[in-house]
Structure 1
């Protein structure tokens, strides 16, 4: 915003401004136009009087006057009589009237066009200045836009409110992203220190029992896997800013994909003694980008497992509705508040109050799933009540 305000430095500090300069030129412009009109009248008069001398009179007499000789008793002589040819004069008058009307209409159209263009240019400058002042100031629209610009004032108020809202959301997302990077970096130290410590013990203590060696190796492996998860979250944060995502469509068996996904989650399900129930029609086909859809469903199922109560069920149901397929992920867990539901698909947003990354992820899973599903022209919604959490995905089958 400060960059925009610096543009005001371009305005001269002294002398006449643009409006006073324009006003000073108006008398000179009027004098110039008047002299031009006078000069044009003189040239036209000279052309008809000198260059075309006699030609117009001869043309008029030959076409619109009847000339004949007739004896005039009063003077006792034969004279040449000129009488108007009224039929021809009526035709001439009709043509002249039509020509005058046509020329007048053209003049009116031209003047109206020039006037309208001038008014549009003037209004555009006025609106541009008002928009500039409104965007750079903290004033209300009613204080800048006059009453006859009420519609514009209303629209600009809405646009400015949306801009501020988007700016605030961007600031919050950036702050959450920076916080997560700091916490992820901090969390990397703990498992790394554990791995180094246990490996040093295995190297230095030659007479450790096999059971203790197995225990140390298991702990080291667990910490190494945690390191891998944290590093993957770093990659997610880096990749999420890439908006140019292309889809590679193919026809897949959705039933087999979800069955395979549930099988891969068996270790996580076992840790909390969870049961995953699949209710899917046999051989349900879906045209999509298989890798990206699998990632979206992986995020949703992982989210359901992480936030489930122990010893409960995770249900995945699929039904066909006309040309769409509806997939639901339902688990038993703490009811999500309405405020959290409204923000649950924001990037880097996490439900848990704790800042630590030891539980959950970087807050990207649901945001990534939403983007992937929308790229497939689908929708995703979330609802929660009575200790139930439900995510509903709707995708076109073709």
Structure 2
């Protein structure tokens, strides 16, 4: 409301200024015409005859005849020509008043693409436009910086992934070469080498999948196939699928959700969201601890909480939903992903019209997701 009121006042000042400027030009034009007529008629005509006599070096009567023949008899034509000339002059002056504002607007728009931190400045009448353009410039600058930072993180991760792929690939080739060369290798040792090669192959598959994840990251144009989803059953299924990741850490998942709790959304994409949140809790949570999942209805929404032991530093908490951002600065070859999990989760939740946020202290981390529980509410977005 304040912004609209400010713009209305600014528009009013600008229109009043243009009105009075135009009115002043019309008044000047009228005065000039009257002045010309007074010059060419009455007593001032004698002055004009006097100067004609001087310029042509003739007597008064001859100059008077010339005045009547060439000026007085054609006075309407002369005044008409003078009016036309003044019209173009005044039109040029009047249009310059308008074009000056447009020139400032165009110059301000041109400055939007400049990388310099110089602020856009305009006349007081265009203050509202100056403020708006500076806001747009700041917004574009922030987006450019965020895009550049994301691209740098992406390039860094690609380098890390390329390096990490070599490690399991080298191991796979090495152990398979031993198996191929040593025909008489004991069965126990052969089984050990096969098991190691298989583990490295799985790791290699994970890294390759991360490459695909980076290159195909674009959820904005993906359609949603929404329907009613039983949240309790979905969480049980997601938790069961994560058992192989939970077991090595001594972790488990505890679900406290009513069996009749319903959410509205795309089941496949929401399952991916919950899977990514839980994977983050497994990777960065304390070992031998529990991950608690709870949910409660709040009007037309369902609030889902994921809580695990283990904290996230405050300086990193605001960045965890950025793409290609990882909590650990030094990438390990055995843990961690491309830093897209939580960024993808946020995009999917946003597509559903919901929200996702994280809070953490030194001991616990809580992810909170809000989703609609009715089709009609979600359809209003």
Provide TM-score, normalisation by structure 1: 0.67
Q: Is the 8 A contact 1:141 1:156 kept in 2?
A: no
Structure 1 position 394 matched with structure 2 position 370:
yes
Distance in 1 between residues matched to 2:340 and 2:307, nearest whole Å: 20
- Measured in 2, the distance between the counterparts of 1:242 and 1:391 equals 21
Local SS of the residue matching 2:318: helix
- Could you tell me which residue of structure 2 aligns to residue 162 of structure 1? 139
Q: Shift of the alpha carbon at 1:242? A: 5.4
Aligned to 1:236: 213
Choose 1 or 2 for highest CA Rg: 1
Equivalent of 1:359, from 326, 331, 335? 335
Q: What residue in structure 1 maps to residue 309 of structure 2?
A: 332
Larger relative contact order (C-alpha < 8 A, sep ≥ 6)?
A: 2
Instruction: Please say if 1:375 is aligned against 2:347.
Output: no
- What is residue 126 of structure 1 aligned with on the other side? 104
How far 1:201 sits from its partner (Å)?
A: 1.4
Match of 1:267 among 244, 266, 290: 244
**Per-residue CA shift, 1:177-209, capped at 9, x if unaligned?**
011111111111110111111111112112222
Separation in structure 2 between the aligned mates of residue 301 and residue 383 of structure 1, nearest angstrom? 15
Which structure 2 residue ranges, 5 or more long, are not aligned? 1-28, 38-74, 81-92, 375-381
- 2:304 & 2:296 partners in 1: Cα distance? 7
**Residue pair 2:112, 2:136 contacting (<8 A) in 1 also:** no
Number of matched pairs: 292
Q: Secondary structure, in 3 states, of the residue corresponding to 2:323?
A: coil
Per-residue CA deviations over 1:296-321 (Å, capped at 9, x if unaligned) read 11100111111111111111112111
The CA deviation string for residues 345-382 of structure 1, in whole angstroms up to 9 with x for no partner, is 00000110203453210000000000001101100000
**Contact 1:328-1:390 within 8 A present in 2 as well:** yes
Answer yes or no: is the 8 Å Cα contact 2:309–2:365 preserved in 1.
yes
Q: Deviations over 1:252-279 (max 9, x none)?
A: 2221111011111112111011121111
Instruction: After superposition, give the CA deviation of every residue in 1:206-233 in whole Å (9 maximum; x if it has no partner).
Output: 2222221221111111111101111111
Distance in 2, Cα, partners of 1:139 & 1:282: 56
Query: C-alpha offsets along residues 94-151 of structure 1, whole Å, 9 cap, x if unaligned?
Result: xxxxxxxxxxxxxxxxxxxxx9988545422332134435754736336x42344333
Is the counterpart of residue 185 in structure 1 residue 162 in structure 2?
yes
- Shift of the alpha carbon at 1:283? 3.2
* 1:343 counterpart SS class: coil
Q: Where do 1:241-256 residues align within 5 Å? A: 241=218, 243-256=220-233
Residues 49-94 of structure 1: CA distance to partner in whole angstroms, max 9, x if unpaired? xxxxxxxxxxxxxxxxxxxxxxxxxxxxxxxxxxxxxxxxxxxxxx
- Partner deviation per Cα, 1:153-196 (whole Å, 9 max, x = no partner): 33333222222111111111000001111111111111011111
Give the root-mean-square deviation of aligned CA atoms: 2.8
For residue 322 of structure 1, the aligned residue among 299, 309, 319 is: 299
What does residue range 68-107 of structure 1 map to in structure 2 within 5 Å? none
Change (3 A) 1:145 1:245: same
